[in-house]
Each structure stands twice: as C-alpha cells, then as structure tokens.
Amino acid sequence: MYELSGVTKTYRKGSSRVTAVAGIDLTIPDGQLVAIQGPTGGGKSTLLQLLGALERPDSGAVRLAGDDLAKASDGRLGRVRAETIGFVFQGFNLIPTLTARENVETALVPLGVPTQERRSRAEAALAQVGLADRAEHHPSELSGGQQQRVAIARALVKEPSVLLADEPTGNLDEGTRDEIIGLLEGLWRERGLTVVIVTHDSAVAARAERRLTLKDGRVSG
C-alpha cells in the first residue's frame, strides 16, 4: 500500500522553480488499478517517479509497505525498484542491441537470478504477453505494440507487487492501445497487482478502478 503525506517536489527551471507536486496526501491500497489524468505539466509523471522510487520528495513521506522512500538510501531505492516495482514507459525504453528475451532478462540481472533461470523466466514472460515466437527478435524488428508487450514482460518478469505505467499507450494506434490496456487489465486481475497508470487517454482511464486528476501539483478525485 502506498501512503503519501504532504509530498512536495519542485524543480529548478532556469532561474525559477516549478512546483510539480504540491503537498499531496494520497493512499493507494494494494491491488488497486488507478489511473492518473491531468493536463501536461500538471505533475503526473513526477508523481509516478515519486511512487516508483526514482525521485525523493523535497518534503513529505512516500511510504510503500511501510518503508519511507523519501528517507531511503540510493541503494535501498535501487533494491525497491529491482524487487517491488515494475515500470512501463511511453517510449518502451528497450535496449536496441538486445533481443526481446535479453531485454526481459535485464530486469532479473539485479536480482542475481542464474542465467538459465533468467532465460526460462524471460521466455515465460514473453509467452504470457503473446510474444513467445518473437523472443530472439530485436526491438527494431518488432511493431510498437510488440515492443510495449516486451516492456510489459520486462516489468512483470520479476513478479513485482506494483506496476507503474507512464502513458503506456501514448505511442500506439487505437487498436494496439486496446490490446495493451486489455493486457494490463488482465495481468492486474490475474496477479492482484497494484497498478498506477498515467494517461491522457480517457478510454484507458475508463478501465481503471479509480481515477485521479492531477492539476497544478494537486490531486483531486
């Protein structure tokens, strides 16, 4: 469960400071599918980074399973990311030189999983997202939807308790979008994950259990 209290995050932009997140108090229970919407620059991605232990807040607390990420060391944050949180990005963020299977395996490297087990788990994850036959393909040989499926397989192969997705369908056409959101929804139901999706797309948000709107760094809904 996420518990955020008085979370503030500001960035320096030139000579001025921009408040991306302004004193948010928020609780996300385990197993909830949450959609965060809002205008560009409203602080959605910043909130996702705070939830994902990619950033520390300037003030306030971000507790995940009782662990305050705001006060955790870099090493601890790294372990949280490696073990507990899976990420899906708008741009897929696959490593172009590695095959689909190898990209999935990269998520198991920090866990010290042995090579053979890493390989079999990656293949199983790819099979789960319907890409068993594309395991040895490089990202450039895959469509956008297939690349996002690989990214989802990479996020889920370590069996995290949280899945964070930043505009996961932003680079996809409508048909592929439905395919991907269906996949995420299915995995959420199947695994009981806590899923937080940042999206501009109302069709995607409509599939969520809970919809939040972030505007000027503040949460409503």
Nearer Cβ to another protein (88/181): 88
Place of tokens 């053979």: 116
Distance in Å, CB of 13 to another protein, minimum: 12
Nearer Cβ to another protein (81/149): 81
What does the alpha-carbon distance between residue 64 and residue 67 come to, in Å, rounded to a whole number? 5
Nearer Cβ to another protein (5/106): 106
Nearer Cβ to another protein (139/207): 139
Distance in Å, CB of 206 to another protein, minimum: 27
Residue 102 sits in the site that holds another protein (CB under 8 A): yes
Residue 95 sits in the site that holds another protein (CB under 8 A): yes
What does the alpha-carbon distance between residue 49 and residue 203 come to, in Å, rounded to a whole number? 23
Distance in Å, CB of 97 to another protein, minimum: 4
For residue 20, give the H/E element and its range: strand 16-28
List residues near another protein by CB under 8 A: 45, 49, 52, 54-55, 74-75, 78-79, 81-83, 86-87, 89, 91, 93, 95-98, 102, 105-107, 109-111, 115, 118, 154-155
